[in-house]
Amino acid sequence: MATVFEFKIEVALGAVPAIEDQLAEREEQHLMVIEDKASGRAWLTGYFETRVVAQASWEGFAPLMDPEWLATEPVISELADKDWKESYKEHFKAWQFGPLHWVPVWERETFRLPEGDQVLWLDPGMAFGTGNHETTRLVVERLVKLATEKGVGGRVIDAGCGSGILALSAIKLGYLRVAAFDNDPLAVDVSRDNAALNGLVGRVEFYVGDLVTGLAGRQAELLLANIQADVLMRYAPELVGSVAPHGTLVLSGILASELALVRDTFVTQAGGWQVDSRVMGEWSDLVLIRP
């Protein structure tokens, strides 16, 4: 990619939760919020292949923004390949949970992996799936613990795979049967690129689908869905129906304030299932285990 176009507008730090909620509601793949709490500043930003697409993305999202949330006028800047890479590095830092590390590919030459650990190299591209957000961390931490506690012999489905981080993490943890889908073809392409970065081509079945077509005729011992509360609730029957006996459903993308409603919806669909949840910052997960 020779050039990309960066969209950026400064927003009020206090408005970040509300903006993230709107991003989740729209299933927005190409805009994200970046915070610098030390300076008390935050920005809504995104990277696009053309200026026209960047402008269209903002025009589609702008009506959802309260004018009081906006601190500046939006700016769309053309970035050369070098500038794009340097800019994106600001948004993605290496992180770890248990024996698994998620590391940007541009740190490949300098990163030192502790003996016995595993690393997943990531180039999130314009899908923004770095794992740095609490919603992804909640699922990843569950995934690591489940692999340790229940073993890695079951089937895994990642519904709404984004950059592929959850599906590829499952492979790194030792799962052998992993499928992942997204309704955005770009996200599926980025997921496949990340598989190639890690020498995992063909190890995950990546495909385009939604929560109806993507799950049709499939069941898994571990079903992961990091999407958003209203979509999860709308497709609760499909999600519950795709969990194999004794399997686990891990849901994320749920604001802590929405957890009770999501829990009630899924308990209604999955009566008698064991239920658990955690809160991380303003976000929560919901885990249901089928008898």
Half-sphere exposure in the Cβ direction for 222 (13 Å, CA): 27
Task: For the sheet with 118-122, list strands across it.
Answer: 95-97, 100-104, 118-122
Is 136 labelled as part of a ligand binding site? yes
Is 184 labelled as part of a ligand binding site? no
What is the rounded CA–CA span in Å between residue 21 and residue 224?
20
Is 160 labelled as part of a ligand binding site? yes
Q: Which of 106, 61, 112, 110 is nearest to 87 (CA)?
A: 106
- Token pair of 204 as six digits: 């995950």
- The residue written with tokens 């500046």 in the block is 72
Helices (H) and strands (E) in the chain, counts: 9, 14
What is the rounded CA–CA span in Å between residue 246 and residue 149?
14
Q: Which residues contact 132 (CB under 8 A, 6 or more apart)?
A: 91, 92, 93, 95
70: DSSP letter: B
Phi, psi of 77 (to 5 degrees): -120, 140
What is the rounded CA–CA span in Å between residue 31 and residue 83?
18
What is the rounded CA–CA span in Å between residue 188 and residue 71?
34
Question: What separation in angstroms does the CA of 267 have from each of 224, 236, 237, 274?
Answer: 17, 10, 11, 9
What is the rounded CA–CA span in Å between residue 240 and residue 170?
20
First-to-final CA distance of the chain: 49
Is 50 labelled as part of a ligand binding site? no
Binding-site residues from annotation for S-adenosyl-L-methionine: 136, 160, 182, 226
Binding-site residues from annotation: 136, 160, 182, 226
